[in-house]
Amino acid sequence: MGTRTSAVAREAVIVGVAEAALVDGMLATPMSPLQVQAKMAHAALKEAGLSLRDVDGLLTAGMWGVPGVGQLPTVTLAEYLNIVPRFIDGTNIGGSAFELHVAHAAMAIERGLCEVALITYGSTQKSERSRTLGGRPATLTMQFETPWGLLTPIGGYAMAAMRHMHEFGTTSEQLAEIAVAARKWAMLNPAATQRDPLQIADVLASPMISDPLHLLDACLVTDGGGALVMTSAEHARTLGVKPVYVRGFGEAATHWTVAAMPDLARLTAAEVSGRNAFAMAGISHDAIDVVEAYDSFTITVLLTLEALGFCQRGEGGQFVSAQRTAPGGAFPMNTNGGGLSYAHPGMYGIFLLIEAVRQLRGEAGARQVIGAETALVHGTGGTLSSGATCILSGR
Amino acid sequence: MYEKPLPVIDPDTAPYWDALRQHRLLLKRCLDCNRFHFYPRALCPHCYSDSLEWAEVSGVGEIYSYTVARRPAGPAFKADTPYIVAVVALDEGPRMMTNIVGTAPANVQIGRRVAVSYDDVTDAVTLPKFKMTDAIMPGK
């Protein structure tokens, strides 16, 4: 089959990224969600040699300003930036939305619907103390979930972990391996929020929140802001920047209520999106040098690795053992420290992409994966509800 | 006064909640493929038929998965902590979220048999909770 390089005359590339500096998980400079998105847009565009004047595609998803102007985030952001985008995508499928946005922006650029696409995210959830474990309003499908007092989002992930342990014998120690490996990467990343050494025993000794998941099986709660700029490969050449190519992508969604998940021990959305992304890229798993996989919880990563086919179903626990995903391990993953140790501002997906771009440009400093040419980025949204995969390449 | 979140009942779901008030578990069944589903929908999620009926189910099944909430999902749940939230697979097939009641968290296991236990939390709402019905397994 033909790869995208030969099939697509006008190829979309990523040419700029930016992320907001955090101190103790809060924006280093206090900003509103709109303010931080504008600042990050400015920085990412500047990196690409572009300005807001060039932007004609706008994609965003967020949880800010709801109820209120955040209900129409693309429209509100277009107004705040004072741009008139001719391609707009505000699709929100949870934290994986930004992988979907890269895919949709790529299609729009390739079809000539826009020339420069801007993808943004902003959250001040930690500064505002707006994060809660409480349920969602018990309307429509939530009539059958909210009355039971399930902690959200951890409760659903906990039930998935419990089921995976039951079916495959996965252990808490194996899940903890993922958190420890993420911390080792974070210790190499000056921008990461949690950089103190972490042992498997520390994870197991941290408070149980929702059996079998401990506090340190869960991602951080931080602020965050990020932006990503895409254009055509042709345009990128005139800008003189090193482009990152979008070789393949896929997306899928299966459920929102936990009881409706097709199989609690199996990440169906990632199976679908991953299969499509690999087929489009025309490459095998061996060609992936670095993986950025959404780590809302340790179990998320384990299910993702199985669903994407990096190991067999049920073998995720063994796969991540002996610090395989840590610096120096055979399978470099979540190289900025991930949602577990770098930052997790509610929806984390854009930061997976930013880190992959930095790795593929060779700009990751002490945490650089040597010779990284191809990266797989996978976002998971909701309660294992949605998935979106991007395969990116520096060449 | 009951302070936990209550379902906001709508035309799609009213027959389900009405039946619970009478201590009956009423689910939708497809007249084309004969399969039950939960929660009630306008189209069969298995074969997409719109030919559906309400039918009473046994109210027994097994624990498909569960978790123990060590922190409350809001202040109203605080007094219950730790409490068990589970997904139960009914013998008729559908899975539903619920609370396992009448036992300590340490006794709960995936695969344990359960039966519905109606909790009239308000005059208008009865919640279908579940109790374990089989003997505690050795070593547990």
Structure tokens at B6: 């209550």
Q: Give domain A4-129+223-243's CATH number out of 3.30.460.10, 3.40.190.290, 3.40.47.10, 3.40.50.300.
A: 3.40.47.10
Kindly state the DSSP code that residue A37 receives in the 8-state scheme. Answer: H
Mutation site for A-interface testing, chosen from B25, B87, B116, B129 by largest number of A Cβ within 10 Å: B87
- Residues B7 and A141: their CA atoms lie apart, in Å, by 9
pLDDT of A1: 39
Question: Which residue from B minimizes the CA distance to A214?
Answer: B70
Helix (H, G, I), strand (E, B) or coil at A253: strand
pLDDT tens-digit profile of A138-167?
Answer: 999 999 999 999 999 999 999 999 999 999
Q: For Cα atoms A349, A351, A355, give the angle at the middle one, nearest 5 degrees.
A: 125
- Cβ–Cβ gap B110/A137 under 8 Å: no
Residues of B with Cβ-Cβ distance to A152 under 8 angstroms:
73
The mean pLDDT value of chain A amounts to 96
- Residue spans of the domains in chain A: they are 4-129+223-243, 152-220+249-393
CA separation, residue A356 to residues A56, A109, B10 (Å): 24, 21, 45
Same fold yes or no, A4-129+223-243 and A152-220+249-393: yes
pLDDT tens-digit profile of A61-101?
Answer: 999 998 899 999 999 999 999 999 999 999 999 999 999 99
Q: Which residue has the tokens 């697509």?
A: A8
Q: What is the mean pLDDT of residues A245-265?
A: 98
pLDDT tens-digit profile of B20-73?
Answer: 999 999 999 999 999 999 999 999 999 999 999 999 999 999 999 999 999 999
Residues of A with Cβ-Cβ distance to B74 under 8 angstroms:
132-135, 149
Interface residue B66 vs chain A (CB under 8 A): yes
Helix axes A298-307, A172-186, angle to 10 degrees: 100
Q: Which residues contact A49 (CB under 8 A, 6 or more apart)?
A: A239, A240, A241
Interface residue A262 vs chain B (CB under 8 A): no
Q: Is the pLDDT of residue A264 over 70?
A: yes
Helix (H, G, I), strand (E, B) or coil at A143: helix
Q: Give domain A152-220+249-393's CATH number out of 3.30.565.10, 3.40.50.620, 3.30.70.360, 3.40.47.10.
A: 3.40.47.10
CA separation, residue A133 to residues A156, A347, A380 (Å): 12, 15, 19
Q: Which amino acid is at A60?
A: T
Q: Does domain B14-132 have CATH number 3.40.80.10?
A: no
pTM given for the model: 0.97
- Cβ–Cβ gap A159/B73 under 8 Å: no
For chains A and B, count residue pairs whose Cβ atoms are closer than 8 Å. Answer: 116
Q: Which residues contact A148 (CB under 8 A, 6 or more apart)?
A: B85, B97, B98, B99
* Chain B stretch 114-133, residues whose beta carbon is closer than 8 A to a beta carbon of chain A: 127
